[in-house]
């Protein structure tokens, strides 16, 4: 459904399709802003993040060129495709009942918070990514961006973690594979500066999903003990989990582009995904104090552009992290422009850091690298 109306800031917004060009979807709902830290208003993962992005897309005139979708709450059977019944029940009731002492302790330990808006926000965030992915899967849309929170990639099957309650991207990927869209292989590309431990575990033995993550690792960086290059999946899924762990901060566009050139693109070419879902965290952005890296908005959009030629251009982006207002706004805007096939020219000449060359060597020296051998047999099945 195409949507026009008043957003929660009282500003009139217009969304319309542009039939002569790419049909790019946007999805957002103000109810996701009701999830907030009840004890600490300045929490970095706060409602302003999606508000900033939405305002920026409006003021830049981008939403007029896109198809805005009506948000939907995720259906239980979709959420249950990657989460346990117990976790689904827990997230459903977390806003309406008093947390037990044990659950309070666990939330604190796992870096999550809950308030009266959390249950609804979590199910809408997951539902938005599913809805957008379905429209792209069935060809109604070419690609799209889901402006959602709480983020998802740290959420485990039975545990909320790292600001994440439900694993939005994993739910969408598994739902698309389970339904009758004819999509059998999905690339999940995680560009958030943190490793997506939850997503990795959910597809650990599944060769239908290639999980590829570039993130900081070690020296106490969150999440601890997850994201090594040696974690490559198991059983039939062995080789379909690829981690490229930065061993230092200050990685730039050139470092990411080198990884794309030397690892991601060759692997994706072999895997032949029919859809790409991007865990679109922007905390590796220049100016984001949490990530400590310096990827530019143009850098992010170039990384997205380089995967658009695969999976028939079916690219779904779902917001994960990103906590600096300026870089968050500019990065999302640049990525949506690329989905619209606007502003495609970007030249970057700096050479990668020396440590990046070592990381690339390490990541490519793992046995069954990137499932290339498995991929060939898998695809020919």
- Rounded CA-CA distance 269/22 in Å is 23
Given 35, 78, 153, 154, which residue is catalytic?
A: 154
* 245 touching Zn ion, by CB under 5 A: no
- Which one, 87 or 195, has the nearer CB to Zn ion? 195
**Tokens encoding 24:** 């790019």
Is 154 known to be catalytic? yes
* 192 touching Zn ion, by CB under 5 A: yes
Helix pair 325-339, 48-59: axis angle to 10 deg: 50
**Tokens encoding 172:** 């969408």
- Which one, 131 or 192, has the nearer CB to Zn ion? 192
Q: Which residue has the tokens 């198809």?
A: 67
- Which one, 44 or 80, has the nearer CB to Zn ion? 44
* 208 touching Zn ion, by CB under 5 A: no
Q: Which of 144, 223, 321, 352 binds Zn ion (CB under 5 A)?
A: 321
Q: What are the phi and psi torsion angles at 164 (to 5°)?
A: -110, 130
Q: In whole angstroms, how close is the CB of 7 to Zn ion at the nearest point?
A: 26
DSSP letter (8 states) at residue 227: -
242: which strand partners? 212
**Interface segment toward Zn ion; rule CB under 5 A; list 18-26, 190-198, 261-269, 297-305:** 190-198
**Interface segment toward Zn ion; rule CB under 5 A; list 117-125, 132-140, 184-192, 267-275:** 184-192
**Interface segment toward Zn ion; rule CB under 5 A; list 50-58, 188-196, 254-262, 338-346:** 188-196
Q: Which residue has the tokens 């870096």?
A: 111
- Rounded CA-CA distance 64/59 in Å is 10
* 283 touching Zn ion, by CB under 5 A: yes
- Binding-site size for Zn ion (CB under 5 A) equals 5
- Which one, 193 or 359, has the nearer CB to Zn ion? 193
- Which one, 281 or 352, has the nearer CB to Zn ion? 281
Q: In whole angstroms, how close is the CB of 323 to Zn ion at the nearest point?
A: 8
* 190 touching Zn ion, by CB under 5 A: no
* 195 touching Zn ion, by CB under 5 A: no
- Rounded CA-CA distance 149/218 in Å is 26
* 281 touching Zn ion, by CB under 5 A: yes
* 194 touching Zn ion, by CB under 5 A: yes
**CA-wise closest residue to 219 among 355, 49, 77:** 355
Residues in the chain: 381
Full DSSP string of 66-119:
SEEEPP-PPPHHHHTTTS-HHHHHHHHHTTTSPPPHHHHHHHHHTT----TTHH
Sites of contact with Zn ion (CB under 5 A): 192, 194, 281, 283, 321
Catalytic residue numbers read: 154
């Amino acid at each position: 459904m195409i949507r026009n109306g008043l957003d929660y800031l009282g500003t009139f917004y217009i969304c319309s399709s542009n039939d002569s060009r790419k049909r790019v979807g946007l999805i957002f709902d103000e109810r996701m802003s009701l999830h907030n830290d009840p004890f600490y208003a300045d929490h970095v993962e706060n409602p302003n993040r999606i508000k900033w992005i939405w305002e920026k897309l409006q003021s830049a005139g981008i939403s007029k060129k896109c198809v805005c979708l009506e948000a939907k709450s995720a259906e239980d059977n979709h959420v249950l495709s990657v989460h346990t019944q117990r976790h689904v029940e827990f997230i459903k009731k977390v806003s309406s009942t008093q947390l037990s002492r044990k659950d309070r302790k666990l939330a604190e330990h796992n870096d999550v918070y809950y308030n009266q808006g959390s249950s609804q926000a979590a199910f809408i965030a997951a539902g938005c990514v599913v809805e957008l992915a379905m429209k792209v899967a069935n060809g109604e849309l070419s690609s799209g961006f889901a402006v959602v929170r709480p983020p998802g990639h740290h959420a485990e099957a039975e545990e909320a973690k790292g600001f994440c309650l439900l694993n939005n991207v994993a739910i969408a990927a598994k739902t698309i594979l389970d339904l009758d869209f004819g999509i059998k292989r999905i690339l999940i590309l995680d560009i958030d500066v943190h490793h997506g431990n939850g997503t990795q575990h959910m597809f650990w033995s599944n060769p239908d999903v290639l999980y590829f993550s570039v993130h900081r690792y070690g020296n106490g960086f969150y999440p601890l003990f997850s994201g090594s290059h040696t974690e490559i999946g198991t059983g039939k899924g062995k080789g379909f989990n690829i981690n490229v762990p930065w061993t230092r901060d200050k990685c730039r566009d050139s470092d990411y582009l080198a990884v794309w050139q030397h690892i991601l693109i060759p692997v994706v070419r072999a895997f032949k995904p029919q859809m790409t879902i991007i865990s679109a965290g922007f905390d590796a952005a220049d100016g984001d104090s949490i990530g400590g890296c310096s990827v530019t908005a143009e850098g992010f959009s170039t990384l997205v552009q380089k995967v658009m030629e695969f999976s028939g251009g079916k690219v779904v982006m779902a917001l994960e992290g990103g906590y600096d207002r300026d870089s968050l706004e500019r990065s999302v805007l640049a990525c949506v422009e690329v989905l619209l096939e606007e502003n495609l020219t970007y030249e970057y000449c700096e050479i990668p850091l020396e440590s990046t060359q070592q990381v690339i060597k390490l990541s490519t020296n793992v046995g069954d690298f990137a499932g290339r051998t498995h991929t060939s047999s898998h695809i020919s099945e």
